[in-house]
Structure 1
Amino acid sequence: MSFDFGSFNNWGQLKKVAIRDVESAFMSDAKIDAEWKDLNFHSRPDLANAKREYAQVEKILASTGAEIIKLPGGEGLTLDSIYTHDALIVTPRGLVKPRMGKAQRRKEAAINGAALEAHGLPIAGEITGEGKIEGGDLVWIDRFTLLAGVGYRTNLEGLRQLGELAGPDVEILWFDMPHYKGRSDVFHLMSCLSPLDHDLAVVYPPLMAARQIEFLEARGIDFVEVPQEEFDTMGCNVLALGPRHAMMVEGNPETERRMKAKGVRVEVIKGTDICRKGEGGPTCMTRPLVRN
């Protein structure tokens, strides 16, 4: 049975999106003190400033007209639960609850899945056993084509199970991810690839597979290349709010200039405490459920 969540892409106009706000993820100074080092945050987030920064994100999302579903807090959730993109996967047959590569985050999928099921969204199944998968390693090119990164957060067994749950008409094309900073780093396929439209994407080629670049070129996708000095400041972590309309973290002026030169309208957020310290940008903080 197939469920219509809208088109499967990473750039269409947002219609429904799930988020978890600072109040439900960070909760308190005591929780931040207990968790930030173990979760490999670069430094301790400031709770009050994080709330101010997140309010701006919510305002921008609301301005798109999308329905916003706020996910609840829950037992066993960590600071990382603010990054909702990774903890659920949308497929033509329903939502898939992943088995996260980062062990501290493995309770998120059940809590998020239950909350969205209560909103009427179907659950197709979950990744089990030795399978690992995270949403940041997946990019829909079209309804039938899903790109995947295989690395420390997502493995081939996870993709095999996802393929069975998504249905036989979905082709999963996977690419090896580089070691880069190692097992503890937050490094996904979408760290290097953020679609902006059907024919445009923000990319960081030095950490992309050659055949991945060739595939995108063969599909007629033009590139906005992130300069080296703006990769670590999350220049590539860009959320498409709609075709050629994007949200990005401040401090990446050259990437912003290059996007605008391609006709992209850019919304810039302050992301010191909600983004940079935990290495999760606008894409990571949102789980799009329906796009045009």
Structure 2
Amino acid sequence: MNSTYHSEYLQLQSVFINPVENAFVSDLKLQEEWEGLNYLSQPNYNKAIKEYKAFEALLLKSKLKVNHFPINEAVKIDAIYCRDASIATNLGMILCNMGKGGRINEPVLHRQEYLKSNIPILGEIRYPGTLEGGDVAWLDETTLAVGHSYRTNEEGILQLKSLLEPKGITIIVAELPHYKGKADVFHLMSILSPVDKDLAVVYSPLMPIKFRNELIRRGFQFVEVPENEFESMGCNVLALAPRQCIMVEGNPVTQAGLEAMGCAVTTYKGEEISLKGGGGPTCLTRPLLRSY
């Protein structure tokens, strides 16, 4: 069995997550932090625990290794969206430098756990560079797409290139639009979720033309998310294996589009853990090893 960290869609073998009890911690912490972090409203702690347990059960059902980030007083509730603080590569993890000020301590938490788990660290993005994992997606084993956004700046992209291009990795930059501005959570993976080597869920109205055309040139077909399912995270789809997907419930058109392309789709209720904080299943996970 061959394995790689350079995939968004191969059979997932191991993953890090940050459960509600460790990230949200308590109703008091949620009350103190949700507004400053631009959540739509305060998540309900007890409901969030139930939602998260159901979400984690979907991962465990696939018999993959699930690792937990521990509780850490230095990070805020956004730490539940653990994809953003690091990037997985075959050469080691890359620690990000968060573009959202309230999340600046999350890469330190990731570093501690990777070292504890004997997972090597390739490097880190340093000030004045910023880069968040939600802006980064593997298109194939030697091609990494990165969004230039309000969370990921040009200096961060240059540092990412310096770490990976000498190792034979091609970096494709997608110039993301202003959309709702600096305060909004808008990453490359807000508009792109690869679910197979030649299939991606996309929201074309916000996709850069050059980048969209490059995906087509590479042979990708698209499941197009309708406008009324964009805010409900129709475009945020986690592949556990090729065309085996998890998504937030309440996006029937996108789900039907995936199923029409031969995908098996499982949904979870994400009102508290996803919709209010702007983070779907890809955001809730830091995938590591995948196999083929």
Please indicate the TM-score interval, normalised by the length of the shorter structure: over 0.9
- Choose which of 154, 157, 165 in structure 1 pairs with 2:152: 154
Q: Distance in 1 between the 2:3 and 2:16 partners?
A: 13
Partner of 1:194: 193
Residue 149 of structure 1 and its aligned partner are, at CA, apart by: 0.5
Residue 165 of structure 1 and its aligned partner are, at CA, apart by: 2.1
Q: Please say if residues 145 and 170 of structure 1, whose CA atoms lie closer than 8 Å, have aligned partners that are also in contact.
A: yes
Q: Please say if residues 5 and 289 of structure 1, whose CA atoms lie closer than 8 Å, have aligned partners that are also in contact.
A: no
Task: Say whether 1:101 aligns with 2:99.
Answer: yes
Kindly provide the amino acid, as one letter, of the partner of residue 180 in structure 2. K
Q: Please say if residues 92 and 166 of structure 1, whose CA atoms lie closer than 8 Å, have aligned partners that are also in contact.
A: no
Q: Please say if residues 5 and 88 of structure 2, whose CA atoms lie closer than 8 Å, have aligned partners that are also in contact.
A: no
Partner of 2:69: 71
- Choose which of 142, 160, 172 in structure 2 pairs with 1:144: 142
After superposition, where does 1:1-292 map in structure 2 within 5 Å? 6-168=4-166, 169-292=168-291
Instruction: List per-residue Cα deviations over 1:205-243 (Å, max 9, x = no partner).
Output: 000000111111111110000011111111001101110
Kindly report the root-mean-square deviation, in angstroms, between the aligned alpha carbons of the 2 structures.
1.1
Q: Distance in 1 between the 2:141 and 2:196 partners?
A: 14
Kindly provide the amino acid, as one letter, of the partner of residue 94 in structure 1. G
Q: Distance in 2 between the 1:212 and 1:76 partners?
A: 37
Kindly provide the amino acid, as one letter, of the partner of residue 229 in structure 2. E
Q: Please say if residues 15 and 287 of structure 2, whose CA atoms lie closer than 8 Å, have aligned partners that are also in contact.
A: yes
Q: Distance in 2 between the 1:266 and 1:91 partners?
A: 27
Where do 5+ consecutive residues of structure 2 fail to align?
none
Where do 5+ consecutive residues of structure 1 fail to align?
none
Q: Distance in 1 between the 2:30 and 2:3 partners?
A: 35
Q: Distance in 2 between the 1:101 and 1:91 partners?
A: 21
Percent identity over the alignment is 46
Instruction: List per-residue Cα deviations over 1:102-141 (Å, max 9, x = no partner).
Output: 0110101011121122111001121112100000101111
Kindly provide the amino acid, as one letter, of the partner of residue 251 in structure 1. G
TM-score, normalising length: structure 2 = 0.97
Question: What secondary structure does 1:273 align onto?
Answer: helix
Residue 91 of structure 1 and its aligned partner are, at CA, apart by: 2.0
Residue 87 of structure 1 and its aligned partner are, at CA, apart by: 0.7
Moved over 4 A (4+): none
Q: Distance in 2 between the 1:228 and 1:188 partners?
A: 17
User: What is the number of residues matched between the two proteins?
Assistant: 289
Q: Distance in 2 between the 1:7 and 1:232 partners?
A: 29
Question: What secondary structure does 1:275 align onto?
Answer: helix
Residue 90 of structure 1 and its aligned partner are, at CA, apart by: 1.1
